[in-house]
A and B are shown apart, each in its own frame.
Chain A
Amino acid sequence: MTLQLECQVRLGALDLDVELAAAPGEVVALLGPNGAGKTTLLRVLAGLQPLDAGRLELDGAVLDDPEGGVFVAPERRPVGFVFQDYLLFPHLSVLENVEFGLRSRGLPRERARDWLQRAGLGRLAAAKPGALSGGQAQRVALARALATEPRLLLLDEPLAALDATSRAELRRELKRHLDTFAGIRLVVTHDPVEAAALADRVVVLEGGRVLQAGTHADITARPRSRYVADLAGVNLWRGRAEDRLVRIDGATLAAIESHRGEVFVAVQPRAVALFRRRPDGTPRNVWQGRAAGVDYLGDRARVRLEGTLPIVAEVSRAAVEDLGLADGSEVWVAVKAAEVEVYPA
């Protein structure tokens, strides 16, 4: 069960040009800001949006190929879709909603009850969607999509419509349900926590292009865009490397690895140390900065610093108090060369 997609679609302001592949049983998260083309990509896979150019293949069967004149209608694709707003049929009961796909695909509709039981919805079989809570509606939508036994399951921001308190619990539950499904799963999200929790691999989509793909750890360690860096809370710059030195605007950072040319430079906020006086220890990168804002997260504090190289440092709350940090206070910033991650742009 493999998925192979070359996708070119123009839709209003969106110019989607993406290649995507998924291995059997893989869970892929599509991460990106609004308008990046994530939902359109799912619609292409489901057949709700035909390709302008490119090719879509699932398990060796061509589903969309404009050049070859092939387009398989959505109802004939082995694809399940869980929509962001669930789109349960309001005129049908919960059970009839789940039966809908089974009957449409000519499968025995008795299976619907099993799916409802499995989703813990047995007692709601006769309820109308209007009477369900957000979490229940989400489970019905998932059961409805899984009941048709698709080989590719698409989930468009499955948790976005839920409030924060139920989201964490439903994320675990969703993960459990997704783990029982053997096909390829594609989850659209703009929440990196969700991406990390649900997916084996993350594909970052921005402005209709794939900017980055890899495991969640890879992507947050070496972000390739401001969007990902902000999501991961990592300091990111672009610069020019010459051997072990990287020039970023007016500043220079020393690294351990040697590079040449255009590079990204990432520094984890936890790797940034702050001092009241100029430190005379081993750190290779030392400069003077000015505190421009402190945000507390529990007993940690993120300190925004201005200066030759603007940077965010994460230190303990106690450290902020020891340093007597306030907006505008002068402070020395130190980063070990070993903590400066340099990679080609």
Chain B
Amino acid sequence: MSVPAPDSPFFRASASARRRRERPPLALALAGGLGAALFALPLLGLVAKAPWASAVGELRAPESLDALRLSLVCSLSATAIALLLGVPLAWLQARAEFPGRSLLRALTTLPMVLPPVVGGVALLLAFGRQGLLGRYLFDAFGIRLPFTTAGVILAEAFVAMPFLVITVEAGLRSMNRRLEEAARTLGAGRWRVLTRVTLPLVAPSIFAGAVLSWSRALGEFGATITFAGNFPGRTQTLPLAVYLLLETRPQAAVILSLVLVAVSLAVLVGLRDRYWVAA
């Protein structure tokens, strides 16, 4: 049997067949392309219209710096709360048997689909001065949450924690539970199993959930403005500042928006391949 020459029709045919096989159907490509444009165009708008020359100056303006600092403090605190309360909650949802578990699971993911403004109203009714719990907090301890920095953190935690809970719960459900049994036969009590086996094994999920929560908290707007108001230096985070600056100094709004976009994009690109697709 002789080998065909490299320029023979045999090779050309197979090469073009390979190319054809890789090309997606036209209709799909068109619709998909349009979909991509829907995401890309607004970003392009931001980049194109950004006042790059004055960018540094806008960022260093006092209200920008205040908003940046406040956003960092609040979103990181909210993430810390989410970690502290969300990991145990995820563990309960994944491992404990109790009545109403599916109801609890619905409840803890509700903020993901709830309009944030509604979340803010609900927070006011619970933690406001006249609220269900807020009344006692104020009367007994003089603690006031609405329209304070603590209120911002609470609103952000409320909206962001579900991302951590569902990510960690999924991690706990997919891990090999028999490793925990192996640990117990080696003499490890339940606490030691949790801290030395379970948590290290779901660490990637905890990390991914924390980063997702953090970026969600960083972008929080609706619940924050409803529950905590819009006071510069105290409750005015980056998204709130963007919204307000749009009226007075639109150029600054664009720059701050770009900061938020850059952070979110970095988070998504960083996480996607390692934790979502691979898992």
Q: Which residue numbers of A lie inside 8 Å of B, CB to CB?
A: 46-48, 73-77, 79-81, 83, 85, 87, 89-91, 100-101, 104-105, 144-145, 148
B201 touches A90 (CB 8 A): yes
* Residue B106 at the chain A interface, CB threshold 8 Å: no
> With A89-B197, A100-B196, A104-B192 known to touch, is A73 a contact of B179 (CB < 8 Å)?
no
Closest 6 CB pairs of A and B: A101-B186, A104-B187, A105-B187, A87-B182, A81-B185, A74-B184
Given A81-B182, A101-B187, A105-B187; 10 other pairs, CB 8 A cutoff: A73-B189, A75-B184, A83-B182, A87-B181, A90-B201, A91-B201, A100-B183, A101-B186, A104-B183, A148-B187
* Residue B20 at the chain A interface, CB threshold 8 Å: no
Report B192-211 CB contacts with A as 1/0, cut-off 8 Å: 10001100110100000000
Report B147-190 CB contacts with A as 1/0, cut-off 8 Å: 00000000000000000000000000000101101111111110
| Complex-state Cα separation, A117 to B182, whole angstroms | 22
B184 touches A144 (CB 8 A): no
Closest chain B residue, CB of each to CB of A144: B186
Nearest CB of A to B188, in Å = 4
B197 touches A46 (CB 8 A): no
B184 touches A48 (CB 8 A): yes
Nearest CB of B to A157, in Å = 14
Nearest CB of B to A111, in Å = 14
Nearest CB of A to B262, in Å = 33
Q: Which residues on A sit within 8 Å (CB–CB) of B200?
A: 91
Closest chain B residue, CB of each to CB of A105: B187
Instruction: Specify which of B185, B186, B188, B189 lies most central, judged by the most chain A CB atoms within 10 Å of its CB.
Output: B185
Nearest CB of B to A66, in Å = 19
Interface size on B, as a range, is 10 to 19
Nearest CB of A to B206, in Å = 13
A and B contact pairs by CB, cutoff 8 A, 22 listed: A47-B184, A48-B185, A73-B184, A73-B189, A75-B184, A76-B187, A79-B185, A81-B182, A87-B176, A87-B178, A87-B179, A87-B182, A89-B183, A90-B201, A91-B200, A100-B183, A100-B196, A101-B186, A104-B188, A104-B189, A104-B192, A105-B186
Nearest CB of A to B189, in Å = 5
B181 touches A74 (CB 8 A): yes
Which of B188, B189, B201, B203 contacts A100, CB < 8 Å?
B188
Nearest CB of B to A71, in Å = 13
> With A100-B196, A104-B192 known to touch, is A89 a contact of B179 (CB < 8 Å)?
yes
B187 touches A75 (CB 8 A): yes
Q: Which residues on A sit within 8 Å (CB–CB) of B178?
A: 83, 85, 87
Q: Which residues on A sit within 8 Å (CB–CB) of B196?
A: 100
Instruction: Specify which of B178, B182, B203 lies most central, judged by the most chain A CB atoms within 10 Å of its CB.
Output: B182
A74 touches B185 (CB 8 A): yes
A100 touches B186 (CB 8 A): yes
Instruction: Specify which of B176, B188, B192, B201 lies most central, judged by the most chain A CB atoms within 10 Å of its CB.
Output: B188
Closest chain A residue, CB of each to CB of B188: A104
B188 touches A75 (CB 8 A): yes
| Complex-state Cα separation, A83 to B176, whole angstroms | 13
Nearest CB of B to A272, in Å = 47
| Complex-state Cα separation, A101 to B176, whole angstroms | 19
| Complex-state Cα separation, A324 to B196, whole angstroms | 68
| Complex-state Cα separation, A18 to B189, whole angstroms | 29
B185 touches A80 (CB 8 A): yes
| Complex-state Cα separation, A63 to B179, whole angstroms | 22
| Complex-state Cα separation, A129 to B203, whole angstroms | 18
Q: Which residues on A sit within 8 Å (CB–CB) of B182?
A: 81, 83, 87, 89
B183 touches A46 (CB 8 A): no
B185 touches A46 (CB 8 A): yes
Q: Which residues on B sit within 8 Å (CB–CB) of A80?
A: 185
Q: Which residues on B sit within 8 Å (CB–CB) of A90?
A: 179, 201
Q: Which residues on B sit within 8 Å (CB–CB) of A75?
A: 184-189
| Complex-state Cα separation, A46 to B196, whole angstroms | 20
Q: Which residues on A sit within 8 Å (CB–CB) of B186?
A: 75, 100-101, 104-105, 144-145, 148
Closest chain A residue, CB of each to CB of B203: A91
Q: Which residues on B sit within 8 Å (CB–CB) of A144?
A: 186
| Complex-state Cα separation, A90 to B202, whole angstroms | 12
Q: Which residues on B sit within 8 Å (CB–CB) of A85?
A: 178
Q: Which residues on A sit within 8 Å (CB–CB) of B176?
A: 87
| Complex-state Cα separation, A77 to B184, whole angstroms | 10
Closest chain A residue, CB of each to CB of B200: A91
Nearest CB of B to A64, in Å = 14
